[in-house]
Chains A and B, each alone.
Chain A
Amino acid sequence: MNNIFILDIGLGNVKSIANAFSVLGHTTTLSCDKQALLNSAQGLVIPGVGAFSEGMKRIAQRDLIDTIITFANSGRPTLGICLGMQMLFDGSDEFGYCQGLGLIPGQVQKLPLPKGSKLPNIGWGRLKPNKAYKGSNSIVSEDIASQPFYFVHSYAAKPKDNSHTATYSDYCGVDFCSTVNNNNIWGCQYHPEKSGPNGLQLLKRFAQQVVK
């Protein structure tokens, strides 16, 4: 059985992620149950939209911080999407400093845009592979490595170690980390479940890692 656990903390559109995996032929569990995550999940997706502190608060309220860290450290594939990616990092400046899960070293900051730029960044942006990234078996396969994906965000993560950045994307001429990877832990700032066939391809690659 290939059970992908989608963390449901009542934020954002988790249904579409489940639908995407379902179309790809994978079973998912939408839940926030600690035991189910630790004992029966083979892969974890951390979705989320909205404010960093609200997301962390909801994870903490369900007493899930240590469980998620234990799960990720067990080597099982873990994917954070949008706010879920940001929460993988050490912390964020959004509405005052808030600590994250600390699974990938780095901070989340407001996009440093030129004056007059619109925020949030809503729309399609291309991925640009980072040459310093050394990971093999990336969920960003070559056929989608420069394709457009759907973004909705005002903040972006800055990994401490540049080689953790698998892809960049840019908005108003400013490059930011759009895909991050540290061993079995992945994060994407865009929404693969909202990025058409390219997004499905990426989720398929992630699901393949879960099976292995």
Chain B
Amino acid sequence: MRKVRIIARIDIKNEFAIKGIQFEGLRKVGNPNELAKRYYEAGIDEIIYMDAVASYYERNSLQDVVASTCENIFVPITVGGGIRTVEDIQQMLLAGADKVAINSQAIKTPDFIQKAAQIYGSQCIVGSVEAKKVAEGRWEAYIENGREPTGIDVVEWVKKLECLGAGEILLTSVDKDGTKKGCDLELIDSIQKTCSLPLIVAGGVGKLADTRDAAQYSGVDAICVASMLHYGMESIDNIKKEIAQIDNVEVRC
């Protein structure tokens, strides 16, 4: 049986949980600790905290949020946004994070992924990829929370991240983020065919069927859900039941 994880993604700005559409127009959706606790109690498999402004403004406000979350939440926690140095990683791990997601700094200095993996192990380093469609069957990697194009092809970049020592890939569609209009299935398909690391897909989930559409690909290991949970549109139970309907797929229950 193939296992698919359901991950709650909580974007953070200062001390608030926020959600934007295509990374823009950020709206407050609550207190991150309260959301995380609610999702934990409802059976979420993992939590991803993403600092929505850290990378852009060169600052990092997540440490306190992570530390208090870890006091009473006992599922894996990944932290991303503004992770630029080994010290940043160390700080997040000390606060209680299990993994860090790295995007902008990986593009700027790819060796950073290699160095981080050597120190903390690949299992700790999530290669975060923000993909924007630029032509039919072609996606470009973006940095700084979907704001800055890099000219780098996403399929190639995922392969590179694997070679550098990342242990997981978090693939976010910039086009679909926050739209609740379904995932970019072409993007997911083209990555899942070639990616031999555990693959987390994010961006666009707005209804139960969207989670199932994304989870049907055999190379997809985890689905990120944000808006649907933040706005109380669906329960974690229902999402898991939906995905468990796919042949040969198992969820944690």
Contacts and interface: CB of A to CB of B under 8 A. Distances in A.
B121 interface: yes
B96 A13 contact: yes
Contact of A196 (B67, B75, B168, B221): B75
Contacts of A200: 74
A23 interface: yes
A116 B196 CA distance: 8
A18 to B, nearest CB: 9
Contact of B124 (A20, A49, A191, A195): A49
B71 A13 contact: no
A49 B121 contact: yes
A123 B120 contact: no
B194 interface: no
Given A16-B96, A123-B5, A51 B121 contact: yes
Contacts of B123: 49-50, 120, 122, 152-154
Say which size band chain A's interface belongs to: 20 to 34
A123 B124 contact: no
A133 interface: no
A123 B198 contact: yes
B120 A50 contact: yes
Interface string A16-31: 1001101100000000
Contacts of A50: 119-121, 123-124
Nearest to A149: B252
A120 B93 contact: no
B153 interface: no
Contacts of A129: none
A152 B78 CA distance: 13
Interface string B16-53: 00000000000000000000000010010100000000
Contacts of B65: none
Interface in A6-49: 11-13, 15-16, 19-20, 22-23, 49
Contacts of B168: 122
A120 B167 contact: yes
Nearest to B219: A118
Interface in A176-203: 191, 193-197, 199-200
Contacts of A194: 74-76, 98
Given A118-B196, A122-B123, A123-B198, A199 B96 contact: no
A102 interface: no
A49 B70 contact: no
Interface in A140-179: 148, 150, 152-154
B94 A124 contact: no
A111 to B, nearest CB: 13
B120 A124 contact: no
Contacts of A13: 93, 96-98
Contacts of A193: 74
A15 B94 contact: yes
B48 to A, nearest CB: 13
B185 interface: no
Contacts of A16: 70, 74, 96, 98
B197 A148 contact: no
B122 interface: yes
Contacts of A154: 123
B72 A124 contact: no
A127 to B, nearest CB: 13
Contacts of A148: 252
A15 B96 contact: yes
Residue in A13, A23, A50, A54 with the greatest tally of chain B CB atoms within 10 Å = A13
Given A13-B93, A197-B74, 18 more contacts: A12-B93, A15-B67, A16-B70, A16-B98, A23-B71, A49-B120, A49-B123, A50-B123, A54-B121, A120-B122, A122-B167, A122-B221, A123-B198, A124-B45, A125-B3, A191-B76, A194-B74, A199-B74
Which 6 A-B residue pairs are closest in the complex by CB-CB distance? Answer: A50-B121, A124-B252, A15-B96, A152-B123, A148-B252, A122-B198
